[in-house]
Structure formats: structure tokens, C-alpha cells
Amino acid sequence: MKPRIAVLGCGYWGSNHIRTLKALGALHAVSDTNRARAEGFASEQDCLAIEPDQLFVRDDIDAIIMALPPQFHADLAVRAVENGKDVLVEKPIALTVADAERSVQAAKDNSRVFMVGHVLRFHPAFETLKGLIDKGELGEVRYIHSHRLGLGKFHTENDALWDLAPHDLSMILAITGTEPIEVRGEGAALLDNLSDFAHLHMRFPNGLRSHLFTSRLNPYRERRLTVVGTKAMAVFDDVEPWERKLAVYRHAVWQDSGQWAFTTNEPSYVAVAQGMPLTRELEHFIHCIETRAEPRTSGEEAIRVLRILTAGTVTHTKSTA
């Protein structure tokens, strides 16, 4: 029997969790402060609509997925694990490192699964890229840069960095296997006092450097992770069709008689099995509930991501007319 999972928060991303869980046969209930919205999804997906306050004490709920504004994540995650529920918390895990640490510690104290929704870690193209890196196909990784640009979404509590960067930071940390020793942030606010454009510059213990650029005021979409190694370079471009999502460039650079020389080569596209990252993420969550395994995107990793976001955040003073 699959675990009985409830989704708390029936907004845009919560609705994706609801439909995907239903397809996986694990959706038991939905919950939202907007009762009519919850009842609409319950009717559509043939599941229970439960008031948020009741969700935590019901014996027929094994786990809760929290797709809420991030300022509510920590308190509700603590409440869930203290009532014996496993949790998957959407990113960002919280708005402060202290709140993130509090919720993760509560999960440990109560022996509960605690997973964070860094969904791109489950993208088949990223998994394939990580496999190439681990096998040494790119040589020693020396530089990673990520661009996540587009128009929207706009939030009142978190800026472009906090909204868009957690996915990329999770992938970068998975590749490096360690936290940066230096983080420098830059940001620009056009709409209010929150960064609409944000850059992060990171330096890691082994000399590896990384750069991340996010924007919610860009005229075009860009979803690209580039890894530069000593043998080859690889690009995971999620805007491209499946057959072109992962490209490897085997350029060469060398010194000849004291001068630099180089050759360029056309990219080779690596075959990637198609699969929806959210489906794979929720299958992993179900597996962790059933086996009590540590999630790939654990609470500890999310704390590391939050430390980087905090260090790289630029504050702006609201302009007055």
C-alpha cells in the first residue's frame, strides 16, 4: 500500500503536485486556507479536502507536501514532523538559516523523512550530466555557470535570487560536493526594493569557480547550466528539445611555442531518457517514505543552499518619489 500523502497549498505549484501524486496513486488529501479551492481539487481528483489545522493530527495522513509561500514553511514543517508526518517542503526551505535548521533538526528528533523540492536534481539530463562528470568524461571541473532568466514570477517576500537560484545551487553543490568558501552577490531592483536581477560569484576549496545569474525581468527564457572541465565542456539547456538538452563540446586549448592555440568542435548531443522531473522527484519521495532512506535533496543540502542565498543577497532601499 502506497503512503497516503496530502498536499498543503493548492496554488500553481501545489496543483502540479496534486495531479502528479494522483497519477502515482499516492494522493490522499488536499488542503488550503481557501476552502473552495481545496474542495475544487478534491472533487476533480477524487480525494479528501481537509482543513489545514486538521491535516497535522489525522491518522490517515502519512506525509505532507508543503507548497506554500516560504515564510510559512518552517513552522508548519516542525508541526508536521512533531505529529509524525514525513514532509517534502518546496524551495526555498525557509527565509532564514535559523528557521531551516530548526525544521531539519525537528525532523531528525522525530525520525521523519525531510525532503526539499529541488526538482531539477531529478531531471534526466542533469542526472546524465552528473554521471559524465563522475566518470571523468569532462576531466577536472574548473568552472560552472548557470543562467536562469525569464519574465516573472513576482513575489512580495522573495526576490529573483531566492525564487530562481535554489534549483541551480542544488545542482552546483551536487557537482562540487562541497560548499563555497567565498560568496559575493550583486543585484539590481527595478520594480521595488527586491532584486529583479541577481548575480552570485562563488569560489570553492579546490579552486573551482562558479557564477550564477537569475532574472525575473528578462525578455526571453534561458535555463542553462554549463560545466567547464579540463577535457571537455557540457551544457544542460532545458529550453532545448529532448534530443538537444545535453551537449558536450570537446574543444582543445594548448600552448604552442609560448602562444595559446585552440580548436573548436561541433557539439555531440548525449542521449537522455525522457521523464518528468516532478514525477521522478515524487517517486523518490515515496521511495524514501517506504524505505526510510535519506532523500537525495535532503534538509541538510537545503540549509547549504540557504547559506549561499543569505551570503549573496543584496538589500535595496525602497526609492521614494
- pLDDT score, position 253: 82
Q: What is the helix (H) or strand (E) element at residue 50, kind and residue range?
A: none
Q: What is the helix (H) or strand (E) element at residue 217, kind and residue range?
A: strand 217-229
- For 225-242, the pLDDT digits (tens) are 999 999 999 999 999 999
List the domains of the chain with CATH numbers: 3-111 (3.40.50.720), 119-274+306-310 (3.30.360.10)
The β-bridge partners of 217 are: 151
- pLDDT score, position 321: 39
Q: Which three cell numbers stand for residue 11?
A: 496554488
Longest dimension (CA), the chain: 75
- pLDDT score, position 319: 55
Distances (CA, A) of 152 to 9, 149, 216, 221, 321: 20, 9, 5, 10, 25
The Cα–Cα gap between 309 and 166 comes to: 8
| Integer Rg of the chain from CA | 21
- pLDDT score, position 320: 41
User: 235 CB contacts (<8 Å, ≥6 apart)?
Assistant: 224, 225, 226, 227, 246, 247, 249, 267
pTM over 0.85: yes
Q: Which three cell numbers stand for residue 176?
A: 562540487
Residue numbers of the chain with a pLDDT score lower than 70: 318-321
